[in-house]
Structure 1
Amino acid sequence: MTPLIMTCGDPAGIGPEIAVKASQALGAKAGFVWLGDPAHLPDAAQWEFVDAPLEAQHVRPGVMPVLYHKFPALARPGKPDPSNAGAVVEVIARAVKLVQAGAASGIVTCPINKAALQTGAGFGFPGHTEYLADLAGVDRVVMMLVCRELRVVPVTIHIALKDVPGRLTAALLKETLCITRASLIRDFGIAEPKLAVAGLNPHAGESGLMGQEDAEVITPVVERLRQQGMKLSGPLPADTMFHSAARAKYDAAICMYHDQALIPIKTIDFANGVNVTLGLPFIRTSPDHGTAYDIAGQNKADASSLIAAIRLAQDMAERRR
């Protein structure tokens, strides 16, 4: 199987550090090539240049294969440099071209800082997910967060809470449910996925006493898709969906907004959560954390989430193969 491509992310963050830690921890099972400027790696890092991803198989375990991408400036941990912003964006685009050409089996992205990219490169996307969708030429993708005990999907993502009711449409919910189900079958090996759909309002609207969206938007979609054979439950009160007995009844929880999905998974397993983009024509995973500028360059960063992202991408690639 061809290796994964790992993008460097913001070199002023913890990305370079956790990439090296992941390479060392996984050894012969690392299976990735790091795309970036090795000048940004920790001084003690063991790495080796490769000219193409497949050359990674000739690099000793624990030594990180590096596919070089030039950056204009050195990195200062914790202090993003606007002059490097353009190269951070270029690395993501280059990784997509490599995976589209069949040179890599998937992409694992290290964290970026959207504000830094907007300031330094005029980055016009809310985040990684939306940029990858644009590069892939797809109109709709879905963000799933995964840990060993839970999978969650927010229907609306990076928008203000006050805007959620207006953005939550029947079409958006249906697309999210269908994309999630298809990915659980193809990439997670679940033949008949069971999806639990959260309500938007407290108590899933309490028969209209606490809002009409649950009855008017969510319920009709759930009932229609259930009639078509999808295994769905809901809309359910979100406050009763995430204890252990409830989690045992479904394969993924579909939530209506960002924090409704991310608070439970980060509470259950903060260190090992993985961000997966569903609906792309290629595999993309990422650690479920940011650049952590406050600890960058101090050898304090935990690579657990990145390691989990690598392993999940490998599992997905094997299933697709």
Structure 2
Amino acid sequence: MNPASAPAPTTPGALPIIATTMGDGAGIGPEVIVPAVLHPDTLAVCRPVVIGDAGRLRQAADILGITADIAPVTDPSHARFDGTRVNVIDLDLLPADLPWGQLSPLAGEAAYQYVRVAADLALTGAVHGICTAPLNKEALHAAGHHYPGHTELLAHLTGVDEVSMMLSTPQVKVIHVTTHIGLIDAIARIEPGLVERTVQRGHHALVRAGNPAPVIGVCGINPHAGENGLFGYGEEEEKIVPALEALRAQGIDARGPLPADTAFFLASRGDYDLIVAMYHDQGHGPVKVLGIEAGVNLTIGLPVIRTSVDHGTAFDIAGTGTADARSMIEALRQAAELATKPGAHRRTTQA
């Protein structure tokens, strides 16, 4: 079976197909996926196709008391959607007696393979987005796959050198120039080329999602964006302004540097489609205040948009039927919102 052999249909107006990876089968991934892919809100915006194990999904449906047709398909274009059917590209990698809530190299290997197949589907254009259920990094490493997480794994599998993190809520979207490094290191790393590439990735993601002319607000580094040299040592002029000039020359509406203490307020009222944060807490803090319950993590710069839930594998409750599927529903919704639209031109490489 080659699930990536046939591209998805490109009927005008068709909903995007979202490859939904099952994550670690010993965790709550199967239990949040089954109700999420059957939810009316999900089916109103996308066509979710699970990459996972049909047997494990059937076990999850039984635990949840959900009557569903767990239906294996050979490629996404064969999927059908009627509100009771869970379409799954069945890799059949997990034993039927895999314990819930326990670290397993078998589950780690399976989680890797689900992501690999999703990446293959993305590269061929067979899916328009990827939504990932949580994997367990220790299980992934125990299976011999030494990646910090989904982001780095997907970047490797799709041959992408540099990606960006975007946080998305119903009120505001934020893309980060730097993320998980210390503040001093972040300031040292910021330079015009990195700022320019980050904005380009965010711009391309929004254009691909159907916004032809997004307005992008770019934060400064210092208080009041340096206030013409009053604060800091000219970082805005050195590290950000040259990037903005280059972006505007490309026709990208990038504005700034903006004082970060007002940029998010302006975005929340609709002045900006995207805010560019220079470092982790500059972007994460406001987003969590504005909408942590609906926030989704997106990876920008892959051949397709990838979204993820905002929780882990939750081994402590796996197999109990008590997992909350709302984050998965929201991750699927936002994957659909930002996905490459069916029939649209898709670049195979990113800026």
Question: TM-score band, normalised by the shorter chain?
Answer: 0.7 to 0.9
- Contact between 1:85 and 1:121, CA under 8 Å: does it hold in 2? yes
Matched, 1:19 2:33: yes
SS at match of 1:200: coil
| Whole-angstrom distance in 2 between the partners of 1:296 and 1:221 | 47
2:252 equivalent in structure 1: 230
- Contact between 1:126 and 1:158, CA under 8 Å: does it hold in 2? no
| Whole-angstrom distance in 1 between the partners of 2:69 and 2:319 | 18
Letter in 1 for 2:35: K
| Whole-angstrom distance in 2 between the partners of 1:284 and 1:165 | 27
Matched, 1:195 2:211: no
| Whole-angstrom distance in 2 between the partners of 1:150 and 1:88 | 31
Q: Which of 189-198 and 293-302 deviates more?
A: 293-302
1:61 equivalent in structure 2: 83
| Whole-angstrom distance in 2 between the partners of 1:143 and 1:105 | 18
1:31 equivalent in structure 2: 47
- Contact between 2:27 and 2:314, CA under 8 Å: does it hold in 1? yes
SS at match of 1:18: helix
- Contact between 1:8 and 1:15, CA under 8 Å: does it hold in 2? yes
Q: 2:163 aligns with which of 120, 128, 141?
A: 141
Q: Which of 257-266 and 223-232 deviates more?
A: 223-232
Matched, 1:101 2:105: no
Letter in 1 for 2:222: N
| Whole-angstrom distance in 2 between the partners of 1:36 and 1:235 | 44
Q: 2:194 aligns with which of 167, 172, 175?
A: 172
Letter in 2 for 1:204: A
* Cα pair distance change 1:117/1:258, threshold 3 Å: farther
* Cα pair distance change 1:205/1:135, threshold 3 Å: same
Letter in 1 for 2:177: V
| Whole-angstrom distance in 2 between the partners of 1:116 and 1:90 | 13
Unaligned runs of 5+ residues in structure 1 are none
* Cα pair distance change 1:159/1:127, threshold 3 Å: farther
Report the alpha carbon displacement of residue 150 of structure 1 after superposing the two structures with TM: 0.6
| Whole-angstrom distance in 1 between the partners of 2:340 and 2:263 | 30
Taking structure 1 as the reference length, the TM-score comes to 0.86
1:69-92 alpha-carbon deviations (Å, 9 max, x no partner): 233555544433233212211110
| Whole-angstrom distance in 2 between the partners of 1:295 and 1:219 | 49
Letter in 2 for 1:19: I
Matched, 1:153 2:175: yes
Report the alpha carbon displacement of residue 63 of structure 1 after superposing the two structures with TM: 2.8
| Whole-angstrom distance in 2 between the partners of 1:152 and 1:31 | 26
Report the alpha carbon displacement of residue 319 of structure 1 after superposing the two structures with TM: 5.7
| Whole-angstrom distance in 2 between the partners of 1:22 and 1:280 | 24
Report the alpha carbon displacement of residue 148 of structure 1 after superposing the two structures with TM: 1.5
| Whole-angstrom distance in 2 between the partners of 1:97 and 1:176 | 25
| Whole-angstrom distance in 2 between the partners of 1:181 and 1:40 | 39
Report the alpha carbon displacement of residue 113 of structure 1 after superposing the two structures with TM: 3.2
Matched, 1:6 2:37: no
Alignment map for 1:60-99 (pairs within 5 Å): 60-72=82-94, 74-99=97-122
Unaligned runs of 5+ residues in structure 2 are 1-7, 10-16, 345-351
| Whole-angstrom distance in 1 between the partners of 2:164 and 2:274 | 13
Alignment map for 1:275-314 (pairs within 5 Å): 275-314=297-336
* Cα pair distance change 1:103/1:193, threshold 3 Å: closer
Q: Which of 153-162 and 167-176 deviates more?
A: 153-162
Taking structure 2 as the reference length, the TM-score comes to 0.79
1:182 equivalent in structure 2: 204
| Whole-angstrom distance in 1 between the partners of 2:293 and 2:301 | 25
- Contact between 2:222 and 2:231, CA under 8 Å: does it hold in 1? no
1:51 equivalent in structure 2: 73
| Whole-angstrom distance in 1 between the partners of 2:295 and 2:101 | 23
1:113 equivalent in structure 2: 136
Report the alpha carbon displacement of residue 50 of structure 1 after superposing the two structures with TM: 1.5
Alignment RMSD: 2.7
1:213 equivalent in structure 2: 235
1:165-221 alpha-carbon deviations (Å, 9 max, x no partner): 23222211111111211221222x222211111122333345253454333212332
Letter in 2 for 1:257: Y
| Whole-angstrom distance in 2 between the partners of 1:191 and 1:298 | 45
Report the alpha carbon displacement of residue 236 of structure 1 after superposing the two structures with TM: 2.1
1:273-318 alpha-carbon deviations (Å, 9 max, x no partner): 2333322223433234333444433434332332233233334343
- Contact between 1:271 and 1:304, CA under 8 Å: does it hold in 2? no
| Whole-angstrom distance in 2 between the partners of 1:313 and 1:277 | 10
